[in-house]
């Protein structure tokens, strides 16, 4: 990797100039870190003592080009850099997938809390996008069988790339199609299903920040008029698709908890409960298929 040497003072003058053009300091420093290889800690040290030299992995011109593009059309920096750190790995991202969010990291912990002791089973990541959840499961549940589904062909090929690079020893099977449909031969066998489906009501999409609404795929965001359209579809198929005792864990919008829990019960799941995200918002719905095989 090419290295670009410069003095701390030079970098700080250049940083000030870039920030005077607009944008948020936190985003710019994130660009310096991920795009330029200058960690936040090193930057803080330079702010205290600028009389040091440093190495960047990108030229100032290249970083400035990315920053200008971000300011001009609000393209997310993750798309421009092509990477997004998530949990303890670095995912490749592009405009065909939603940028994985920090709150979604908790879905993995909630899942491992429920199935972590089971030595084997079959899991599925419904609506895999970049493959974030699938990679995390593949890295944790070694003896399981893993599947990932998406309706977007481009998303699936990026998920494939991420799985091959980040969980090379685990064979996750990828399926193109809608929710449970492409998995029909395995219905009744899934011990664990994770989903972060599109759940934003159509009317709310246009109120979102341009960084989101103008760049992230509608297919990943839009949950129909009440935001619950895709959630209903997933729940409608979950009873048949889950194994007896199998878990479904879903993320949803900040105000959908009561509705999603009610739907889970209506569609026959038991032990229905919610979990909160790091901000204390009811963000995840959890349900289980009954253990009793004859109970449908
Ligand atoms: C909110 S994104 C979540 C992506 C990823 N799981 C994450 O958490 O970052 C929703 C994903 O569902 C996919 N999707 C939308 N409708 C679908 C459908 N009917 N069947 C399968 N996947 C679908 C989208 O393409 C998108 O990748």
Strands 242-251 and 145-150 come out as: unpaired
Instruction: Work out which ligand 1 atom sits closest to the CA atom of 101.
Output: 9
Q: How far apart, in whole angstroms, are the C-alpha atoms of residue 33 and residue 63?
A: 11
pTM value surpassing 0.85: yes
Report helix, strand or coil for 99.
coil
- Give every CB contact of residue 12 below 8 A, 6+ residues apart in sequence: 46, 47, 50
**296 pLDDT exceeds 70?**
no
Cα–ligand 1 centroid distance for 221 (angstroms) = 8
Confidence of residue 119 (pLDDT cuts 50, 70, 90): confident
Radius of gyration from C-alpha coordinates of the chain? 21
pLDDT in tens, 245-263: 999 999 999 999 999 999 9
Give nearest CA residue, ligand 1 atom 10: 220
- Which atom in ligand 1 lies closest to the alpha carbon of residue 99? 9
Task: Give the nearest ligand 1 atom to 199 CA.
Answer: 1
d(CA 204, CA 225): 9
Ligand 1 center from residue 66 Cα (angstroms): 27
User: Which of 129, 175, 177, 183 for mutating ligand 1's site (highest number of atoms within 8 Å of CB)?
Assistant: 129
Strand ranges (DSSP E) for the chain? 4-7, 53-56, 83-86, 89-92, 122-126, 145-150, 172-176, 190-195, 242-251, 270-276, 282-288
The domain limits of the chain are 4-73, 105-288
105-288 belongs to CATH 2.40.430.10: no
């Amino acid at each position: 990797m090419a290295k670009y040497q410069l003095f701390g003072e030079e970098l700080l003058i250049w940083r000030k100039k870039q920030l005077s053009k607009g944008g948020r300091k936190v985003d710019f420093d994130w660009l310096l870190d991920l795009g330029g290889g200058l960690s936040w800690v090193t930057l803080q040290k330079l702010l205290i003592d600028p009389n040091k030299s440093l190495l960047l992995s990108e030229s100032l011109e290249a970083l400035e080009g990315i920053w200008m593009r971000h300011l001009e059309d609000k393209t997310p920096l993750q798309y421009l850099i092509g990477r997004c750190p998530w949990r303890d790995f670095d995912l490749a991202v592009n405009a065909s997938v939603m940028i994985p969010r920090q709150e979604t990291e908790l879905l993995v912990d909630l899942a491992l809390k429920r199935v972590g002791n089971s030595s084997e089973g079959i899991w599925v990541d419904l609506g895999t996008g970049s493959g974030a959840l699938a990679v995390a499961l593949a890295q944790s549940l070694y003896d399981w069988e893993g599947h990932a589904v998406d309706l977007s062909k481009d998303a699936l090929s990026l998920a494939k790339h991420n799985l091959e690079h980040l969980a090379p020893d685990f064979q996750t099977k990828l399926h193109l199609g809608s929710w449970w449909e492409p998995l029909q031969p395995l219905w009744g066998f899934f011990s664990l299903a994770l989903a972060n489906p599109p759940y934003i009501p159509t009317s709310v999409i246009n109120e979102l920040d341009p960084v989101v609404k103008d760049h992230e795929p509608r297919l990943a965001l839009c949950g129909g008029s009440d935001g619950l359209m895709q959630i209903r579809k997933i729940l409608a198929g979950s009873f048949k698709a889950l194994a007896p005792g199998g878990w479904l864990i879903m993320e949803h919008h900040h105000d959908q908890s009561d509705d999603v829990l009610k739907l889970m019960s209506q569609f026959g799941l038991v032990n229905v409960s919610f979990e909160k995200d790091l901000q204390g918002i009811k963000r995840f719905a959890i349900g289980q298929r009954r253990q009793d095989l004859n109970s449908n």
